[in-house]
Each structure stands twice: as structure tokens, then as C-alpha cells.
Amino acid sequence: MMIFERREEMKRILAFLLALVMIFSITACTGKEKEEAALEVTEVETEEATEEAKEEETPEPEKVDFTGRTMNVVATSDKYVTLFDKFTQETGAKVEFLSMSSGEVLSRVEAEGGTPMADLWFGGGLDAFMDAKAKGFLESFEVPEAADVPAEYKDPEGFWYSKGLTVVGFLLNDKVIAEKGFKAPETWADLADPIYKDEIIMSNPAISGTNYAAVKGIIDMMGEDAAWDYFAKLNDNIPYYGKRGKDPQEKTVAGEFAIGIIPVDKSAFDAAAENGLTVVYPTDGIPWVPEGVAVFKGSENADVAKEFVNFMLRPDNQQIVAELDGKDSAQLIKPGVEGLSLGLPQDKLVKQELATFGEQREAILNRWKELTGDK
Amino acid sequence: MDRIKRDNFLENIIYFMVVLSVTLFILYPFLAVFREAFFKDGSFNFEGFSVFFARDSKLIKNSLMTGVYTVVLTSILSISIAVYVYFKGKKVEKIVFAFLMLTMISPPFVTSLSYIEMFGKRGFITHDIFGLTLNTYGMVGIILMQSIGSVSLNTILILSGLRRIDPNIILSAKDLGASTGEIIWSILIPILKKTIAVSAVLTFVRSLSDFSTPAIIGGSFSTLATEAYLNMIAYGNLNYASVINVVLFVPAFIAYLFYRKSIKEELDSTGEAHMEVELGDKGILFNIITFISIFTLFWIGIQYGGILFSAFSRKQAGVPYFTVSNFIEAKPYLSQTLIRSLIYSFFSAGVGSVIGLLIGHFLVIRKKKLMGAVDFVSMMPYIIPGSFFGIGYILAFRSEPIHLTGTAAIVVLNMLFRQLPFSSKLGVEITSAIPKSETSAIRDLGGTGFNIFLDSVFPNAKDNLAMAFANSFSQSMTTIGSIIFLVYPSQKVLTLVMFDAIQSGKYNVGSALAIVIILITASMNLLVRFLLKRRRV
């Protein structure tokens, strides 16, 4: 009797489990189809919505409709949701994105033999984009909105565009500086002073585009030989290099270090306000790097991605980018767009040789590795 | 006759599928890493290894030392807690297990972050309370965090070992005048030797393969697993990443062989009914044990308290205040990934626990020829680092004939087979515990292997199957090590966005996400326990 009951119950559970397994194999393995199906359902609604919208405002002449499509994006951060949402509103294309640093994107695409891992690559140090162009991972295209962007902020052959500049500065932990009795550093040259030993952190430039920009910028600023002498001294003050892009900011905030070498934007100023820190633009020169935007060659929705690049370069959207990125006006690439006022002294930006940014990357990183070992 | 034929045919198909899936999704990616490490353009190439031994061989020492110290510390802590709980009875056990559960179901790197905030150079406890400025980066920090992470599983293993000891041995030793210290030192620990060895091996292997702890709190101290990860992520050097993984595999594999030998003997000893053992006089050793246990639990409490604190607070000019805005900010992260993460984990855990049971069925009861090898291979994912398993999947499935990169399938499969060792170990345990008489009775009555599975194995397994499911589910919800290499934008899961939030400096939002993940895994575990309990009544 007992056994019989148990068996019955067991059969029910088994049937349930099998059903579950089947349901989930369908949902998981045909996830794509499901998404498409779901999109078909929403299509009707969005069409209605866009029609309504069309009645209200005069549509722009080149209005495109990507309803039912999904643009996949690898972006440096998740902060661009607002911009993506606006794109969805205007064109109907859904946006899925994943945050990855630019070096990582390059590594992944290489590892997978050039298979595009998304449609759009949004943000990250230009060096990786230049490298990707050389390796044939990117698609060349032109967009009308890029016409008035200065030549140094777009690839002459249209393989990449820029969305703004990252500038490099210092984050100082006031408490630690006071505790140690330091004078607050103002220049790159200051950082070589042995009193700062073990109190400076920067990220491995192979990982962090920002810190690669710092290295490259200092080379362009001081000249090859002087720069490497300087790095040797700086290296003595740095106990180890962060293995993640945000390490310097996080660890300076936590008080682990007095000085962090960071990308300066509004979020740095916010973190400074929250935690009692100071942001410094070095007075002997501010290294910078354009952040790239590109479309992967052979990707499924390349047309949507290209449209997005055009959309993103429109002045009203550049305004949004400036706000999302927390950029000073001097960090913007589109003429006539106003950014925030963070006090970035434009004249202090290092005269940088952008052309050699990508091609020297490997040589610089190798020499860097020789100098620093694997700390 | 038709029924028997049909059943046998069905069973053979399932058998074939089990063998095929393990071969395809564990062995093949595994071998792909070796191929990448040893071959270049079709010919044998040792270059990567010569570079490694010339330049990076000290990483071996770093990894081994970290592993050994972690094992020693974890063993001391977990033996202490297990013995403490054993003598303190059910009430204490419940409280202790609630604490331990936390470390088992939470994402791996959050403790490292709260460690910096609490014990770092300017940590809240070390610097602000005790006025110390300690450099806690490096090996010490890694060992501490890995030990905290491993202590739960080991305590559970050792405690179940203790439960198998006949209480009469302890009682009669007590009657003969043995002190508590003597009982622990001369009776319990020697009997537990095997269990301790097994848990030590598991800890060692986990420590070797952990890349995130050294990456966050290692400072200039690097390990094999971290370098393998970096070579993949930062330098895009698949060949060198594979080389390091192969090097890392050697000590892990040796430990694993040792483990298999011990676990066999371990399984042969059968359990005894547990009886509460009262201790009269405590003795010095027991006091030390009590101190260690309470200290460890206190520490775990502080670390998780830190996460809770940062999830519910923000700072203004360095002064923290209470807020729920972190959870509000976490909402967009959740809306994109929550459901997807649940589905992935549910699916991989469900299928994984069934495959585990099938492995047990075919190996122990049906004694199929290939199953010894399948069982061996199915344990592999436990000993190879996440990066190994992730890179293996890229190498194996990036091109035809099986092109899976970029699909949801590759992520789910990777989770599923990565968690298989636990499920298959349970499957073997379950089926080994089924009395021979029961299965042969079914056979005598004309039952097929299929009947045995449905009428004997499965009913016997229900409880453990639920356990396997809950465990795999928690692991899949918190895993990051191998899927980080495989996910495309449309497959983003919860742990990844938490990793993102932390990467971009949003500690507080990251902590809020960690709390959400912990709540989900905890509810799943409690639900399973509750269902099991209710059924027993």
C-alpha cells in the first residue's frame, strides 16, 4: 500500500520534472525564436505608438523603422541605458547590451576567430579600435552626422568614430594625504617623488584604456627616453597595478592608496564629494584618448548599428552622451555641443600623436611589462 | 516482450545520450585546451611552455603555497566548527548552519570587497577602530578569503563524518575517564582522517582554480588562475592562457586522483544513527575549539554585515547614511537579467541533477562498460578552473561542426556541466545506497533497467535529487568564472551585472545586487528543505 502510493507520487513528480525539462529546453535552446515571437507581439503595439507619435511631431526626413529588430551592443558601462531607450523610442529597435572593457572585447573577438560578438561596439580606448580595424574586425561606413566632426576624431576610412574624450587625472584621498603629511601632488613629475612610495595606484595599461592613454600621453609629452626614465621612478612608487579598470578609483576611495590615476569625469567628482576626496587635473599635461564607436563586420544588425552611430552624433544626443558620461565641454567632439563645467583646462591637454596610438600599442605594452614585471 | 524491448531501447538511447553529452560537453572542450596549448598551426609546439617556465614559473609556487595554507587554515576552522556543533546539539547547529549557508550561496567576490572595507589599509575595523595600517593585500588576504569561502562545505562534510561515528565509542571512552580533549584528539580526529583528507583536497583544488580573489585582493601577488584569466581578458592570448591552465591542471589532477581513492573508501563506510552526545567537563582543547568557532562565525557575520551595510547606505562627505536608493538603482540591472538568470539556473540545475542520477544508475546498478570513464570525466569540471572550462568552450564551439558561441545554449550547457560533479557524486552515492535485494527483486519480477530506474532509483533519490537541484541552482546563480568568457549581450545574467556594477565602482549597488542574489538562492534552498520536511511528516 505504502509502496504503491509512493510510486504513484513518484510518477507524478517524474512527469512534472520531465515536463519542466522539456519546457526549459524549448525556452533555452530556441531562446532566439521566442524573442522573435515576443517581438512580433509587441510590434503591433509599438507601431500604434509610433503612428501616434508621428501625428504629434513632424517626423524627420530620414526617419527609419527597425521595429522587430534587436541591436546588440558591447559598451564600456551600463550608464547608456537612457540613450539606448531613446533610440528604441525613435526607431523601434530593441537594444541589448553587455558591459565590457575595450581590451576584453578585442580579446574575445580574436579568440572566437573574428566572429562579431555584437552589432555595435560603444566606447573604450581608441587603441583597441585601431587594433581591431587592423585585424579586419570592423566595418567601414559613413554617416551624415559625422560630417562636422574634426578629422582626428574619426577614422579616415570610416572604420571607427569617436564619442568623446577620456582625460586622465589624479584622485586624492584627502584623509590619507593628511595622515601621511603629504603635499598634494599637482603634476605627473610630482608622482615620481619617493615620498609617495606605495601610495600610488594605477591599472595595468594592457587592461585599462585610460591608463594606456596615460602612458602614451606621457611618452608624447616628455619624449621617449625621458618618459621611460620617469616610468622607472613612478614604478618604484607603485606597489602593484590594478587588474581591473576601476581599481585605482575604488581603492583610493577605500583609502587603500593616497593617489589613484583615473579617468576624470563627473562620476569621479561625485565619488570625491561622497567620500571626501579631491580630483586633480595635472598641471604639466593631461593625457587623453578618444573613445571609439564602431560596427562589427558581418554582424546581423549592422544597418541598425550604423543608424545608431548617426543618431548618437546628433547634437541633441551628444548632449545626452555628455551628461551620461559626465563630460566637460572640452571632452566633446561635436562642435557646438555644451558639456558640463568641470574646470578642465583645455590648453593643458597633451599634444598627442593619435596616429601612432594603435600601432605602437604592442611595443609600448611589451616594454611596460619588461619594466614592471608582473606586479 | 514488446514492453521489454521498448524499455531496453529507450534505456539504451538515454545511456547513449549521457555518454555523448559528457563526451561532447566536458571531454571535448577539455581536450581543446590541450590542443591549443601544445599545437600551433597543426604541429607540436612547446614554445608557450618554455616561455612560461622561463618567465612565470614562480606562479606555480604562489598557487601551491596559497593552496596549502588555505587547506591548513580551512581544516583547522572547519574541524573546530564541526566538533563544536557536534557536541552542542541541534539548536546551535541551526544557527551555525544559517551562517555557513551564507558563504555557500553568495557570489564569490563580494567577501573580498567587504574584506578591503573592513580590514584593508584604512579598513573600518583595522584602521578606524584599532588604529592599525595593515597591508592586507597579498597572499594572507587571499588565504583568509578562500578559507572563509571553503569553510562551510568542509564543516558539513566533517560533521557528516562525525555523525557516522558510533556514539558508543565516545561514551565508553568517557566512562573510562578520557577527557574531552583526549576524546577529540585521540579518537575523533583519527577516525575522521579520511573525511578531512577529502575535504582538504576539495579545498586545495578550489583554491588553485580561484581567479577572482587574487585579482581583487592579491595586490602584486599573482597566481596561475589569475594569470590565465588575464592572458585571456587583457592580452587575448589564448595559447598562453591555455598553457597556464594546463600547468594548473597538473597539481589539481594529482589531488583529484588522491581524492577518488579516498572517496571510494569513504563511501564504503556506512552511516550510523546519530545520538546526542553530552559532554561533562569541557577541557582546554574544547575551549580553544569553541573560541575558534565563535571567532570564525563572528568574522563571517561581520563580512556579510558589511555587505548588508553597504547595500543600505550611501556616503556624503565620508559620512554614511541609511537609504534604499541602491536597490532602486539596481532595478534596471534586475529587470534585464533576473528572469533570464532564473531560467538558465533552473534549467541547468534541473537537467544536471537528472543526468547526475542517471550516471549513478548506469554506473552502479546497470554496471555499463563506459560508465567508469564517464564518471571520471564528469568530475573533471570540479578540478579545472573556471577559465579553463570557459576557454575550452570557446575553443571547442567557436566553429563548425558544433558552432555554439553566441547562443544561450552555450551558456546554459556550460553552467550545467560545470555543476555536474556534485550531482553525479550524489547520484553515485544514492544508487550505492540502494539495497541490491531491491533492484534484483524488480528484475526477478520481469522488470527492465528502465523499471529499476523508475521504481527503485528515482523514489530512493527524491530527497537527494532535490538537494542536488538546490545546490546546482545556487551555484549557477552565483557562477561567473567560466561563463564570463561566453556571454553575448543577449545572454547577460545577474552575476555579470553585479560584477559590472562593482567594476564600475558602484560598490553599494553591487552589494544590493548581491543581497538580491543571496535572497533568491536562500529562498530556493529553504523551499527545497521545507518541501522535503513536509513530506517526511
pLDDT in tens, A58-89: 445 456 788 889 999 998 877 888 899 999 99
From CA A252, how far away is CA A238, in angstroms rounded?
13
Check whether A122 has a pLDDT greater than 90. Answer: yes
* B143 and B12 both lie in a single domain: no
Q: What is the mean pLDDT of residues A298-307?
A: 92
A308: number of Cβ within 10 Å: 27
User: What percent of chain A has a predicted confidence (pLDDT) above 90?
Assistant: 36
Closest to B122 measured CA to CA, from A51, A255, A207 = A255
Residue B206 C-alpha cell reads as: 578550489
Contact at CB, A251 and B398, closer than 8 angstroms? no
**Which candidate from B220, B408, B455 shows the least CB-CB separation from A239?**
B220
Return left, alpha or beta for B137; rule: phi > 0 is left, psi -120 to 50 is alpha, else beta.
Answer: beta
* B33 and B67 both lie in a single domain: no
**Which candidate from A241, A253, A255 shows the least CB-CB separation from B121?**
A255
Kindly list the residues from chain B whose CB atom is less than 8 angstroms away from the CB atom of residue A73: 489
| The pLDDT of residue B266 | 56
Range of the domain at B60: 55-311
Return left, alpha or beta for B45; rule: phi > 0 is left, psi -120 to 50 is alpha, else beta.
Answer: beta
From CA A116, how far away is CA A6, in angstroms rounded?
53
**Which candidate from A111, A175, A257 shows the least CB-CB separation from B394?**
A111
Q: Where are the domains of chain A?
A: 33-165+290-331, 167-289+346-372
Structural Rg of chain B based on CA atoms: 24
Contact at CB, A111 and B317, closer than 8 angstroms? no
* B17 and B163 both lie in a single domain: no
* B207 and B300 both lie in a single domain: yes
H/E stretch holding B69: helix B58-88
* DSSP, residue by residue, A49-111: HHHHHHHHSPPPTT----TT-EEEEEES-GGGHHHHHHHHHHH--EEEEEE--HHHHHHHHHH
**Which candidate from A78, A253, A274 shows the least CB-CB separation from B316?**
A274
Contact at CB, B220 and A375, closer than 8 angstroms? yes
- Does residue B50 sit within a domain? no
| Single residue among B311, B331, B366 that ends a domain in this structure | B311
* B330 and B259 both lie in a single domain: no
Specify the amino acid at residue B307: I
From CA B173, how far away is CA B117, in angstroms rounded?
47
Contact yes or no for A142/A161 (Cβ under 8 A): no
Q: What is the pLDDT of residues A212-229, one digit of tens each?
A: 999 999 999 999 999 999
Chain A residue with the nearest C-alpha to that of B336: A96
B372 half-sphere exposure, CB direction, 13 A CA radius: 3
* B280 and B338 both lie in a single domain: no
| The pLDDT of residue A276 | 84
| Single residue among B286, B311, B336 that ends a domain in this structure | B311
Kindly report the CATH number that applies to the domain delimited by A33-165+290-331.
3.40.190.10
Contact at CB, A271 and B505, closer than 8 angstroms? yes
Total domain count for chain B?
2
| Single residue among B311, B346, B378 that ends a domain in this structure | B311
Of the ranges A248-252, A349-353, B291-295, B476-480, the best mean pLDDT one: B291-295
Kindly list the residues from chain B whose CB atom is less than 8 angstroms away from the CB atom of residue A118: 488-489
Closest to A191 measured CA to CA, from A165, A216, A210, A218 = A218
* B306 and B324 both lie in a single domain: no
From CA B127, how far away is CA B263, in angstroms rounded?
45
Determine the 3-state secondary structure of B384 from DSSP: coil
Check whether A347 has a pLDDT greater than 70. Answer: yes
Supply the CATH number for residue B237's domain.
Answer: 1.10.3720.10
CA distance A195 to chain B (A): 17
Task: Please give the model's pTM, rounded to 2 decimal places.
Answer: 0.81
- Does residue B258 sit within a domain? yes
From CA A40, how far away is CA B177, in angstroms rounded?
79
| The pLDDT of residue B29 | 93
Contact at CB, A274 and B236, closer than 8 angstroms? no
H/E stretch holding B44: strand B43-44
Closest to B259 measured CA to CA, from B199, B318, B343, B172 = B199
* B464 and B324 both lie in a single domain: yes
Contact at CB, B492 and A103, closer than 8 angstroms? no
Contact yes or no for A227/A218 (Cβ under 8 A): yes
- Does residue B111 sit within a domain? yes
Contact at CB, A255 and B127, closer than 8 angstroms? yes
From first to last of its 537 residues, chain B has per-residue pLDDT tens of 577 788 888 888 899 999 999 999 999 999 999 998 998 777 788 888 888 888 888 899 999 999 999 999 999 999 999 989 888 877 888 888 888 887 777 776 777 777 877 887 777 787 778 777 777 778 888 999 899 888 988 898 888 888 888 878 888 888 888 888 888 888 888 888 888 888 898 899 889 988 888 888 888 888 999 888 888 877 778 888 999 999 999 998 888 888 777 766 554 444 444 556 666 557 788 889 899 999 999 888 888 888 888 889 887 766 788 888 889 888 888 887 899 999 999 999 999 999 998 998 888 888 888 888 898 898 888 888 888 888 899 999 988 788 888 888 999 999 999 989 888 888 888 888 888 888 888 888 877 777 888 888 888 787 788 888 888 898 888 887 788 888 888 888 988 888 878 766 677 888 899 899 989 998 998 898 888 877 665
- For an interface test with B, which of A11, A33, A199, A243 has the most B Cβ atoms less than 10 Å from its Cβ? A243
Specify the amino acid at residue B71: V
ipTM: 0.77
Q: What is the pLDDT of residues A88-111, one digit of tens each?
A: 999 999 998 888 878 788 888 888
Closest to B347 measured CA to CA, from B179, B491, B180 = B491
* B266 and B359 both lie in a single domain: no
Residue A311's pLDDT band, with cuts at 50, 70 and 90, is very high
From CA B84, how far away is CA B287, in angstroms rounded?
9
* B293 and B424 both lie in a single domain: no
Determine the 3-state secondary structure of A294 from DSSP: strand
* B307 and B358 both lie in a single domain: no
- Does residue B363 sit within a domain? yes
* DSSP, residue by residue, A127-196: HHHHHHHHTT-B-----GGGTTS-GGGB-TTSS-EEEEEEEEEEEEEHHHHHHHTPPPP-SHHHHTSGGG
Kindly list the residues from chain B whose CB atom is less than 8 angstroms away from the CB atom of residue A249: 505
**Which candidate from A7, A74, A239 shows the least CB-CB separation from B489?**
A74
- Does residue B193 sit within a domain? yes
Indicate if A167-289+346-372 has the same CATH topology as A33-165+290-331.
yes
SS3 content of chain B, % helix, strand, coil (to 5): 80, 0, 20
Residues 6+ apart with CB under 8 A from A334: A148, A149, A313, A315, A318
Q: What is the mean pLDDT of residues A277-286?
A: 92
Report the CATH architecture of A167-289+346-372.
3-Layer(aba) Sandwich (3.40)
- For an interface test with A, which of B235, B499, B511 has the most A Cβ atoms less than 10 Å from its Cβ? B235
* B304 and B325 both lie in a single domain: no
Chain B residue with the nearest C-alpha to that of A102: B234
CA distance A197 to chain B (A): 14
Phi, psi of A120 (to 5 degrees): -120, 140
| The pLDDT of residue A38 | 39
